[in-house]
Structure 1
């Protein structure tokens, strides 16, 4: 089968490998869609923690179930499904407490073990979710949106609170939409005017700020009667921005770090204590978050597929990946397609 391998930072190859076998408790998924996310981009650039090379990337996955292992339900064959890519041990303290997203022995498909940039992948049956309603593109985006759902749930955001989302990439866009579902007033901050316009025009996020054009502190104080944000979410993947986010939260506020970077993050302890801030990390997502996103997608309340701006067939990924990692190309979300009859690769914007 075809397999795209990230051999080392900045270098991908198309290889032929033997297809996987289907073990007990597993299913074979014929991959149909692969969303390219920030984790893949950081891994390609050599900036992803918990990572080693060579590695087959890809964890935003959707496809058709073509085989089930021993004791598996044969009626699953032929159904469409998405993948929950976080393989947890079920035994550590985090798992015992229902926090499977931060398992002590976590194995993420496409990060710790080879992922879905291939024709067929063996996946544990309990990590596949079937849907008769969602299209393939939507199925491949559930994981991305679940990251946002988990961050918002971690924050305990409530109706009417001011939520500031720093970073208008796909994760930030997901956080913003899920925060809006909680009834919060949502502000998105980014230095990219095209991304901010996308949030306004495509996602309906009315309040956006650009640090290059706006006084962020003054704007947030105006929106909050000088009290700043109730909750700040960082989805920038930028250490400087992550440190600056502490200043955007008001007294008794919460700061949720959705981004993860290979860097140390520092803050002023007197300011942190003076505001009595709550600092939270948000890693991955749980089944509860996936179920919430699935429900909202099926009801049409989330505009996840609007984020897809670029497309390519699997064989073209090594050539396309450098452009997808370049902000100037206008990529919001790239989607890899694997169809029965491979069609010419297309893009929603220049590749």
Structure 2
């Protein structure tokens, strides 16, 4: 089989690998399509501290089960499925309290173990989630990105009374905007970014107002508009955002951070406590696949709005370059296997 492998940072190859056989409790998926994520580029460039090389990358993938290991019902062969990349131990404290995404022995498909940029992949059977026939293949490939939005939203509990401010109109921000509007009924959503074309995408995905903060002071702009956000999501992942968000937030607001920056930031404790602000962090997803599949089946979200490019997997270098460099026109890129 053909697999897209990062041998070392900056060394990506398409290589022949033996066809994997599923172990007990596992299934094998014949991959149909896979999405490129920023973390895939980070592994390629050597900027992901968790990755071990060589590594078959890819954690957003859809396909069909074509083989099963011992203990898996034969009826699962032929299922259309997507793979949850979070592989957890099931018995540590985070797992016992429903937080397998921060399992003490966490293994992430495409990071710690080989991923879905391959013609075939094996994974635990419980990580393969059936896709209804009503959901097209391309949309199914987008389930994993929406689980990131589902995870932060589940913690923050958005509602119709909220005024939401979303930093960043990339894939994480856009999926969050769609969830806030289509699932949680948030009536006012403001998107902030430094690229006008990204802000146009935010408007197309449900943002009521967009603000380009490259040349203006966001606090002054929101003051002029008489807006005090009650719910703020940092999907831009810059260390300067959290201190600013604390200052912008309404009393009793919630702030969600989705970034992995190791850069320090300075926080004012009084600014947090005086307004009793709640700060949430979110990593990966915590069993959100069934939830997002239900959203898609009910048409509460529109994943097709985010898919801007598709390539044959043999063109992965070109696909990665476009994803990395064209922030004006490119949102989600799918590889076809």
TM-score by length of 2: 0.93
Q: Distance between the aligned counterparts of 1:103 and 1:50, measured in 2?
A: 14
- Report the alpha carbon displacement of residue 9 of structure 1 after superposing the two structures with TM: 2.7
In the alignment, which residue of structure 1 is the partner of 2:206?
204
Contact 1:250 1:275 in 2 (8 A): yes
1:185-242 CA distance string (max 9 Å, x none) = 21111111101111213x232211110355422343455x56x211111111323334
Q: How far is 1:328 from its partner?
A: 4.8
| Match status 1:12 vs 2:15 | no
- Distance, in Å, in 2 between the alignment partners of 1:269 and 1:47 is 31
Change (3 A) 1:262 1:54: farther
Q: Does 1:190 align with 2:189?
A: no
- 1:161–1:221 distance in 2 versus 1, CA, 3 Å: farther
Partner of 1:27: 27
Partner of residue 3, structure 1: 3
For structure 1, the residue ranges without an aligned partner over 5 or more in a row are 339-351
Partner of 1:334: 333
Point out where structure 2 has 5 or more consecutive residues left out of the alignment. Answer: none
Does 2:313 correspond to 1:314?
yes
Residue equivalent to 1:169:
170
Moved more, 133-142 or 328-337: 328-337
Q: Contact 2:129–2:289 (CA<8 Å) still a contact in 1?
A: no
Per-residue deviation, residues 109-133 of structure 1 (Å, max 9, x unmatched): 0011111111100111111111222
Q: Is the 8 A contact 2:177 2:202 kept in 1?
A: no
Contact 1:47 1:262 in 2 (8 A): no
Conservation of the 8 A alpha-carbon contact between 1:14 and 1:318: no
After alignment, is 70-79 or 163-172 more displaced? 70-79
How many residues end up aligned between the 2 structures? 334
In the superposition, relative to structure 1, how do residues 4 and 329 fare at CA in structure 2: closer, same or farther (>3 Å)? farther
SS at match of 1:168: coil
Matched position secondary structure for 2:320: helix
Determine if the alignment matches structure 1 residue 269 to structure 2 residue 269. Answer: yes
**TM-score, normalisation: structure 1:** 0.90
8 A Cα contact 2:195 2:328, kept in partner = no
Matched-pair contact (CA < 8 Å) for 2:20–2:120: yes
Confirm or deny: 8 A CA contact 1:101 1:286 kept in the other structure: yes
Cα deviation, residue 243, structure 1 = 4.1
Contact (CA 8 Å) 1:236, 1:242: kept in 2 or not?
Answer: no
More off after superposition, 19-28 vs 66-75: 66-75
Matching residue of 1:120: 120
